Structure 1
Amino acid sequence: MPREIQATSICAVGATLGEGPIWVERDAALWFVDIKAPSVYRFDPETGTLDSWDAPDQTGWVIPADDGGFLAGVRGALHRFDPATGAFEHLAAVHPETPGNRLNDAARDSAGRVWFGTMDNAESDETGHVYHWHRGALTKTDIPPVAITNGPAIAPDGRTLYAVDTLGKRIDAYPVDADGRLGTPRVFLTVGPDDGHPDGAICDSEGGVWVGFFGGWAARRYAADGSLTDIVRFPVANITKIALGGPDGRTAYATTAAKGLDEDARAAQPLAGNLFTFRVAIPGVPVDPVTL
């Protein structure tokens, strides 16, 4: 039987679409975004302080860079974000042929590549693709397009990529070679009708896959063989993504969303959009800064 855990609210954010949590070791803090606000947040668990910066457009994620700033996925382009000044500097356009798309989720692999996906902002057309970016070179992968990409999650050895098809309610596992080329996928997970939609995904240090479930009131961990090991219950419906951090890598943080809740649902879920936390048995994988 899977282990059952209860998540608790740790910071009142009230995000419309909280996303992209990532533990940044250099300042012992959790960074995340509200895509629809749009804003970038830094939460210091030691002091409980929540800092925020306005973003120029819908921002799906930030990943620390080795120059002290961040690589950020802003609407249809990659930017450098400088928290010291709040400035966003355009680096590369991603999908000028699909202006209705936006960047959605991302992960850094052990080789320094940043894998990320796009999605139809209207959440209907299958125009979302998965890319990787490395030292200024942008590559579109051969993963078939879907309406909403999520993840991708990267195994700790960098040899497996988990691509989430949110509306298709499935996760496929792709082998990755040393040059970042993807092999033939296998189905890793199909999601039942009552479990919500698979959203953001990450891997822990044992290769387990943590998935947030939008509309599912839960996050779940799956072993590398696809078996369910942990289920985390929330008092809110929309869990978007998990990050693992803290001094021992075993404190989980979860972003959530109030998006899509009507007035009655919002009243019934006053903590929707907040940042949540719980403890896990297996630590996460530290995220090294990327080179811009």
Structure 2
Amino acid sequence: MKKVPEHQRPKHVKQGVGELLFTIDSQCILAECALWHAPEQAIYWVDIVGAKIQSYQPSTKHLVTYEVPHRIGCFAFTEIPNQIIAAFDIGIARYQLDTGELEWLAQPEKHISHNRFNDGRADRQGRFWAGSMSELDDLQSDKVVKGALYCLSSSSSDTVSCQSKVQEVLISNGLCWSKDGKTMYHADSPERRIYAYDFEPQNALLSNKRIFAETTGHCFPDGSIVDADDYVWNAQWGASRVVRYTPSGKLDLCLSLPVSQGSSVAIGGPNMDWLIVTTAKHSLAPERLLEEPQAGNIFVYQLHSIRGIKEPICLL
């Protein structure tokens, strides 16, 4: 683990990341959306390209794979066992893991052939958010239709509405909220920026957009999570690392990964002190895959004096 020099770190911070506890040999093409499911004491994630959801119980070492009917970017647990809210490539739906039953809730970009849903999660009020992205290789092409960040919420009549909250997004990533739910973080990966917004929890209103953190070179902000200290963890695609930012956006810790494409992070485990990192082998050249045989696996590290926050349940 690489740490920021002591003189650049806040004096009160004494935490860190320890040893690699275990690796899950999932060999996903594009693993994303790491989630800790406390009732099952299990780690969940998706393989976007492989169109599957996987779960792993560390106590039993039992790996379960759920094949899904479409590529899946992200999901959230609900109060109903085996039911999730999932952002598939062409829309957002209620989905039953055990039966495969699917009910579409919103498909705002189904008509855009080169766009799909990517990163998302439930907010602390139980709404579901998911962002879209362009899949074109040349993001400067005239054919690119920029995506957006959408919020799904339900009314007293149980109808579900879908609203576009952030527009003109190339690749939506890094969505998470502060502990009090009053700050939202969101990244547009090709811009190499994580933005922060003031968030009004009752009505999901966004304001005061500002740059929270920036990266350079072949280092793109991907999935994020907020810990119990209100610090932001971010997997940085292409840079072989996960970083931790202070609430003011200063770099605090840097964890080196054995693969180049870290894609998402979660904090879980029996004591909520495991750092869970998904990775990908998507787009790696054959010679690079020989150098990164663990690309696509899930890595779990021990945290020291750092705890996570329980993942919100989607109430749709």
Structure 1 distance, partners of 2:54, 2:74, is 10
Structure 2 CA distance for aligned equivalents of residues 210 and 32 of structure 1: 17
Q: Secondary structure at the match of 1:279?
A: strand
- SS of the residue 2:206 aligns to: coil
Say if 2:246 is the partner of 1:223.
yes
* 1:236 aligns with one of 254, 259, 265: 259
| Other-structure match for 1:79 | 93
Q: Give the letter aligned to residue 92 of structure 1.
A: A
Q: What SS does structure 2 have at the residue aligned with 1:16?
A: coil
Contact 2:146/2:170 (<8 A) preserved: yes
Q: How does 1:1-292 map to 2 (within 5 A)?
A: 2=4, 3=16, 7=20, 10-68=23-81, 69-123=83-137, 124=139, 125=144, 127-135=146-154, 136-141=160-165, 143-177=166-200, 178-193=202-217, 196-280=219-303, 281-292=305-316
Question: Which ranges in structure 1 are unaligned for 5 or more consecutive residues?
Answer: none
Identity rate, percent: 27
Q: Which has the larger radius of gyration?
A: 2
Q: Please name the residue that 2:8 is paired with.
A: none
How far apart in 1 are the matches of 2:150 and 2:43?
A: 25
SS state at 2:289 partner: helix
What is the Cα deviation at residue 114 of structure 1?
A: 1.8
Name the counterpart of 2:10: none
SS in 1 for 2:168: coil
Residue ranges of structure 2 left out of the alignment (5+ in a row): 5-15, 155-159
SS in 2 for 1:129: strand
SS in 2 for 1:285: coil
CA deviation after TM superposition for structure 1 residue 206, in Å: 1.9
Larger deviation: 7-16 or 61-70?
Answer: 7-16
**Corresponding residue for residue 9 of structure 2:** none
3-state SS of 1:267 partner: helix
Paired residues of 2:128 and 2:153 also in contact (CA < 8 A): yes
Where 2:315 maps in the other structure, the secondary structure is coil
The Cα shift of 1:7 comes to: 4.3
Cα contact 2:220–2:236 (8 A) shared by 1 = yes
How many residues are treated as equivalent by the alignment?
Answer: 290
Partner SS state of residue 184, structure 1: strand
Q: Per-residue deviation at 1:74?
A: 0.6
Distance 2:28 2:61 in 1: 17
Which region of structure 1 is more displaced relative to structure 2, 181-190 or 125-134? Answer: 125-134
- What TM-score does the superposition give when structure 2 sets the normalisation length? 0.87
CA distance, structure 2, for counterparts of residue 22 and residue 4 of structure 1: 19
Give 1:249's aligned amino acid.
M
Q: What is the letter of the counterpart of residue 29 of structure 1?
A: A
Considering only aligned residues, what root-mean-square deviation do their CA atoms show, in Å?
1.6
Residues 112, 145 of structure 2: 8 Å contact kept: no
The one-letter code sitting in structure 1 at the alignment partner of 2:233 is: W
Contact 1:120 1:148 (C-alpha < 8 Å) held by counterparts: yes
Superposition deviation, residue 233 in structure 1: 1.1
- The code of the aligned residue for 1:287 comes to E
Q: Look up the SS of the partner of 1:283 in the other structure.
A: coil
Change (3 A) 1:265 1:6: farther
C-alpha deviations, 1:150-178, integer Å up to 9, x for none? Answer: 02111121111111010010011000113
Q: Please, what TM-score do these two structures have when normalized by structure 1? A: 0.94
